[in-house]
Amino acid sequence: HTISKIGDFMKSYPEKTALIEGHTDSHGGEDFNYDLSVRRTGAVRAALIREGIAPSRISTKGFGEALPVASNNTSSGRQQNRRVEIIFTEAGQRMSALSQ
């Protein structure tokens, strides 16, 4: 399971923190998509906490449909845009700079 592997990685490297970024495709309203992206990051965060990762090591940020990686004009592109990305940093490093 991918979450277990991420949890194991974070347990092996206790100096690492995780920034979880949530994304959606462009179907639905902008507010709905933003909320969906936030819920996605929350689900991943909760799963990592269940794996034993301290909540203080996990930050989240939702982007909604703002940062697509593929065209939203095809089902394949929309599928690629519905994603969660995790950025690992050293503890104490400013995560806000990484999310811009």
CATH number for the domain harbouring residue 10: 3.30.1330.60
Domain that includes residue 6, residue range: 2-98
**How many structural domains comprise the chain?**
1
Which CA distances in Å does 56 have to 14, 17, 71, 77?
A: 12, 8, 35, 34
Structure tokens at 36: 């969906």
Taking the chain (100 residues) in consecutive chunks of 10 residues, what is each chunk's mean pLDDT?
96 97 97 98 98 98 98 98 97 55
pLDDT at residue 91, as a whole number: 74
Q: Which residues pair with 59 in a beta bridge?
A: 19
